[in-house]
Amino acid sequence: MFLNFVYNIHTMQLIRKLQSGLKNIPPFKKAVVAVSGGVDSIVLAYGLKALGYDVIIAHLNHKLRGAESDEDQKFVGDFAKRIGVQFVTKTADIPRNGNLEENARNIRYEFLEDARKKYKADFIAVAHHMDDQIETVLMHMARGAGLRGQVGMEYRNGNIIRPLLGIKRQEILDYAEEQKLEYRTDSSNGDLSYDRNFWRHMVIPYLKNNMPKLGERILKISATAKKQLESISKKADMWIGKNISENTFGCEAFSKLDDGLKSEILIRLIGPKDLYTSALNELIDFIKTGHSGRKMVVKNLTFIIEHGNVFVSGQQKKTELPKTRITVSGIKWGQWKIKSKSGKTLFVRQWKAGDRFIPSGMKGSKKLQDFFTDKKIPLHERGQIPVIVDENDAIISVGNLRFAQGAENSIQIINH
């Protein structure tokens, strides 16, 4: 079905900015678009369809607002049908224990990723825009976030893309009006018990009233932080490559670095998710003391100081997985489904110190530890990545990250 576009000033302006935003994302043809029914996601799906992308609209009914949630689900389905795109939906029960917003978000993104895999889409497109970015950076700064928090959201984060990130919400509303797009308004958006709603309706309007150029300043802070982070990230990678061997590095060499670089090195080792500045500062102070025999646990990594060195242990008993023979019918190993596609006897195990392999496309061998470092795999995640080996314990694949030379068609590996 074709779309009945009206090409006037607001429509042309948004389409032009949408095209500009897409330049920050690798080229793609198909995307699962997360559509709640609100104006932002409706405009995102409509705009991508207008530009010729293969769009699959996905909607998760959280069942948090009773009949209103069901009406949203029907509305989005009707919208998908009206513009002639595929529609996928699901109803979910969100656990009420813990953080309700976080629980809903996790279930939503799991649903979206399942849809991306099912329909073989390149990305999941979400409708965060410029105003969302300003809110996010401000909230992060208020919590004492470092450079990563000040950067805010990116146009692309793994399989997630945000094509509207450079577009103001008023521009989205103007576009919807010109195109005569109907949309839903979530009644919970006015609930001030949610942090983001409180910031959106109370804090930010107050700040903007007293600081007319607040948005511009916050976006400049974000852009500056991004450049600084890119520079520090390169330095962190270089330092790790030169100074960390067998999960060990020197206290003195580390303590000579500036705090920003120290934090980024530790983030490289631990992973950024749920890692706050206060925890990083505490760990930096712990390493600075250099007292032998002391240890500190951050997330599921243990940092141990021995004779002026820091040893990082990520192999907790609860994460140990046994060496297992792989069958043609397939086995489950951790979160992975693995099948043998050859007649050879193959096994799966965790990585170990000293592991080396010859990556496909390379002439020489590479230490698996260096490979993980290049791929920016945090230490605590490395033990959960399946290492496929033959009868002689020679590595033929590192998860689905890289096959060894000549082993490209010997195994099928899927991360569930």
Mean pLDDT, range 76-82, rounded to an integer: 97
Q: Higher model confidence: residue 174 or residue 383?
A: 174
Q: Is the pLDDT of residue 303 over 80?
A: yes
pTM attached to this predicted model: 0.69
Angle at 143 between CA 139 and CA 149, to 5 degrees: 65
> Strand ranges (DSSP E) for 74-152?
86-91, 123-125
pLDDT in tens, 25-50: 999 999 999 999 999 999 999 999 99
> Hey, what amino acid is at 19?
Q
Query: How many Å apart are CA 41 and CA 176, to the nearest integer?
Result: 11
Portion of the chain with pLDDT greater than 70, in percent: 95
Q: Which two tokens stand for residue 331?
A: 């086995």
Q: Name the burial class of residue 216, with classes exposed (0-12), middle (13-18) and buried (19+) by CB atoms within 10 angstroms of its CB.
A: exposed
Query: How many Å apart are CA 129 and CA 226, to the nearest integer?
Result: 17
Helices (H), 119-213: 130-142, 147-151, 169-178, 195-198, 204-210
Containing 308, the helix (H) or strand (E) segment is none
The SS3 assignment for 139 reads helix
Q: Is the pLDDT of residue 200 over 50?
A: yes
Q: Which two tokens stand for residue 355?
A: 């592991």
Q: What are the structural domains of the chain?
A: 9-210 (3.40.50.620), 244-313 (3.30.465.60), 318-415 (no CATH)
